[in-house]
Amino acid sequence: MLQTTVQKTDAKKVLIVEDEGDMCLILNIMLTGKEMELDHVKSLAAAKEYLGAEKPSVVILDNKLPDGMGVDFISFIKQNHPDVKIVMISGYAGAAKDLALDNGADKFLEKPFTKENLYKSIKELLN
């Protein structure tokens, strides 16, 4: 009997831009097994380099990073990679949320958020 292996080809690539190891681990755990290919970088410079080589469907973007603010990086993503959807995550809502959405973020999640809210946000953007 011939046995074949079927690989998933419908997995969507998601880039996580997060410098805190614990938060990145939590995001990976939350999204594992959800038919997503997860990649991770820890800075805006690394995200810029990654986006030059890869084409993720969604970027999960933290706001406070070692080399700048995620809200300021949104316009770069939208100008250079207009098909990429952005989920901004931050421990601070209020003005940060308004600025992120005004700059082009597709979704904003305030930390802490639930696994369900994260997955629902990404799924809505992928459909």
- One digit per residue, the tens of pLDDT, for the chain of length 127 reads 344 333 344 569 999 999 999 999 999 999 988 889 999 999 999 999 999 999 999 999 999 999 999 999 999 999 999 999 999 999 887 888 999 999 999 999 998 899 999 999 999 998 8
- The reported pLDDT for the residue numbered 114 is 93
- The reported pLDDT for the residue numbered 79 is 96
- The reported pLDDT for the residue numbered 9 is 40
Residues 92, 48, 105, CA angle at the centre, nearest 5°? 40
- Per CATH, domain 15-126 is 3.40.50.300: no
Can you give the pTM of this predicted structure?
0.89
β partners of residue 88: 61, 108
3-state secondary structure of 38: strand
Helix 70-80 to helix 95-103 angle (10° resolution) is 10
Can you tell me the distance from the alpha carbon of 16 to that of 18, in angstroms, rounded to the nearest whole number? 6
Q: Where are the domains of the chain?
A: 15-126
- The reported pLDDT for the residue numbered 10 is 53
Distance of CA 49 to the CA centre of its chain: 15
Strands 85-90 and 36-41: unpaired
